[in-house]
Amino acid sequence: MLIDKITIKNFRLLNDSTLDLKEDLSLLIGKNNSGKTSFLVLFEKFYENIGFNYDDFSLCLRDELLEIHEGTDINNLSIKMILEIKYNENDNLEHLSEFIIDLDPEVDNVKILFECSINKQKLLSTLGKIESNERKRFIEKNLSSFLERKYYIFERYEEIKQKNRESLIEKDLNSIKRLINFQIIHAKRPVASSEENKQNKRILSSLTNNYFNNNNSPDGFNKINELMIQMDGDLDQQYAEFFEGFLRNSKEFLSLSNLKVISNIQSNELLNYSSQVVYGFDNNDLPENLNGLGYMNILYLLLSIEIKKENFKRDMRDINLLFIEEPEAHTHPQMQYVFARKIKKLLSDITNLQTIITTHSSHIVSECDFKDIRYLMKINSDQKHHNIEIKNFYKELEHKYSNPQDFRFIKQFLTIQSAELFFSDKVIFIEGTTERILLPYFINILDSENEQDDSYVPISSQNISVLEAGANAKSFLPFLDFLNIKTLIITDIDTTKPEVKKDKNDKEKTSYTKCKVKEAQSTSNQTLKELLGARELKIGTKSFSTWLNNLINGKNKSIRDHLMVAYQTNESNYHGRSFEDAFISLNIDIIKEYRDQLLGLKNLKELDNADNFYQLTEDILDKKSDFASSILYLGLSNKKVEWKIPAYIREGLSWIAN
């Protein structure tokens, strides 16, 4: 038995959003202000009976809400949350049976509606006594007093509509709580450094006391109480056994072999401060607050999880639902990796537990199971009409890939870099090491040139991810379409021409080898072919020749409006094939002057006969990364050196900046 779907309507950004849950763990990710926290808050408001207010209603409802009258359909304004629960013949239906309406054995789900609606008659009666010019302000400030919460079960979604609501069967919240145990661990956790107040210095110790007091039988507590009075040393052993699970998990997460909970009895307080979390070596124990905030946060989170697990075990509900909000708070990347790798194992001993984790951490995403991801995307039609679409990342993305090999590549490429794409506003794909070294320098030059332009937003201050994808940028196209993200691909034109050679059997075989742009009959760059419209064209045909000519002259258009492909163009009467020969042709005079300070070069005498830049690049370039590093060093350290940026890179960066 599990919650299969959660649908939300009319709550903040979640105007009409549906989340399909995994049977174990679902990872909610998305950019800032994409509704992740709102999702958790709504569940908590309904389940814990926390008040709703005017600001909880979606923006697109505000005008209708403020102009409410006798003819207003209140049902369309109501905040709704719908849980769809699936069950099977092996489940114990004792508590679920009162929610089952359809007795057809083929039906295996129930639907529970949580609803917050406006008492229209009560509100209109009060508004009749309010001056018209105060009406808007009154509703904004006092709507919470006119809101009602109710809970229903139903069979079909049509029954939620106003004309069919007589089919709804009302339930009480307690009956739902007997079925579902809901627990939440908020992002705001009261861990603090040693400079904070006294109470927060002992938050972990307080939590261990809480854990201890909530989970001991009276008889067991009395025995331990006697030991507390007799001897601290004996109590240390009892604590070691009692907190064994928490300490074991903490050690696995943090590689701390010295973490322990010890007795700290004071004569006037045997309970409230009877345990203390410390760390250190041998007999040199240090208080918890001297630990770093990252460790403190993870320790607090792990102990909170242990307390929630005990709650689940004790109450033995049919469905257990745990929300963990932003576990990455205060933690460094390595700790986030560890959390992502071990969280499923940590929660695996709770029956029927479904966990929802929200995160902004690309480190956690990169270590997660691809199938766990649920991506929240904000869809705007205008300033007031909006919605959050919750995508089943794996399932929906797989359908977008016609080539299974490309999809396998994307799954394997979900590293820390590519995981950043989920949280980025824009992305730049680059060819390789040279561009990775020099791109920040080029961006800095462009930002400096435009610093007097008030309308210009510096590229360096924008939320842009840079990904080194080489020739595989084309494989990201469905991924980028899925995210609907503005994308710049900086690549090489990679022109080729046919060459006939004989094999060992003396048979002629044609292969394409690299060549100058002016000799080109094709390109080896599959990204250019894919993204600039030559995917179906065959080399040697008239249509391909036309496409290639347009490619060389920069006339081919991208197949996506939100995507630009930047590659070498004709500049100063030379058309480079790669970044290196395009850069060398533009900056030949500086390279000649500082040849002795540039690394990664050979045959330096060839610089004196620099009339064929394609061949010159072949002759003098030894190690691309060393050459790029020394270009960067000279540009930053020598004020006289002003490198020229190849036009295709400058144009691409200008496009992505806007």
What is the mean pLDDT for each group of 10 consecutive residues in the chain (658 residues)?
95 94 92 88 91 94 93 94 93 90 85 96 94 93 96 93 90 94 82 49 60 54 53 72 80 70 54 51 49 66 87 92 88 81 89 92 86 88 75 88 87 74 91 93 96 93 89 85 91 95 84 95 94 92 96 94 95 95 96 95 91 93 96 96 97 96
Under a CB-based contact definition with an 8 Å cutoff, are residues 20 and 5 in contact? yes
Number of alpha carbons in the 13 Å side-chain half-sphere of residue 494: 15
Dmax of the chain from CA atoms?
A: 101
Predicted pLDDT at 248: 79
Under a CB-based contact definition with an 8 Å cutoff, are residues 558 and 597 in contact? no
Q: How far apart are the first and last CA of the chain?
A: 50
CA distance 65 to 60: 9
Report which residue type is found at 472.
N
The residues with which 358 forms a beta bridge, in sequence order, are 28, 325
Non-local (6+) Cβ contacts of 525 within 8 A are 471, 491, 492, 493, 494, 567
Going from the C-alpha of 545 to that of each of 265, 280, 566, 590, the distances in angstroms are 86, 72, 20, 37
Q: For the whole model, what pTM was predicted? A: 0.79
Predicted pLDDT at 267: 35
Non-local (6+) Cβ contacts of 304 within 8 A are 185, 189, 207
Predicted pLDDT at 546: 97
Q: Identify the burial level of 436 via C-beta atoms within 10 angstroms of its C-beta, where 0-12 means exposed, 13-18 middle and 19 or more buried.
A: middle
Map tokens 């009258």 to a residue: 69
Under a CB-based contact definition with an 8 Å cutoff, are residues 517 and 571 in contact? no
Number of alpha carbons in the 13 Å side-chain half-sphere of residue 422: 27
Write phi, then psi, for 424 (nearest 5 degrees).
-95, 150
H helices of 319-424, where? 333-347, 362-367, 393-400, 404-412, 416-419
Percent helix, percent strand, percent coil in the chain, to nearest 5: 45, 20, 30
Q: Which of 624, 622, 628 lies closest to 604, judged by CA?
A: 622
Predicted pLDDT at 624: 95
Q: Which of 377, 425, 367 lies closest to 397, judged by CA?
A: 377
Radius of gyration for the chain, computed over Cα atoms and rounded to the nearest angstrom:
32
Under a CB-based contact definition with an 8 Å cutoff, are residues 625 and 455 in contact? no
Predicted pLDDT at 411: 81
For helices 404-412 and 393-400, the axis angle rounded to 10 degrees is 140
Coil vs helix vs strand at 397: helix
DSSP 8-44: EEEETTEEEEEEEPPSSEEEEEESTTSSHHHHHHHHH
Instruction: Indicate the CATH number of 2-185 among 1.10.286, 3.40.50, 3.30.450, 3.30.70.
Output: 3.40.50
Going from the C-alpha of 235 to that of each of 164, 221, 258, 518, 656, the distances in angstroms are 63, 12, 18, 84, 63
Is the Cα torsion angle 38, 170, 26, 406 positive or negative in sign? negative
Under a CB-based contact definition with an 8 Å cutoff, are residues 310 and 214 in contact? yes
DSSP 440-451: HHHHHHHHHHTT
Report which residue type is found at 327.
P
Fold of domain 198-347: Rossmann fold (3.40.50)
The rounded Cα 405 to chain-centroid distance in angstroms is: 24
CA distance 314 to 480: 46
CA distance 434 to 587: 16
CA distance 84 to 86: 7
What residue ranges do the domains of the chain occupy? 2-185, 198-347
Under a CB-based contact definition with an 8 Å cutoff, are residues 569 and 649 in contact? no
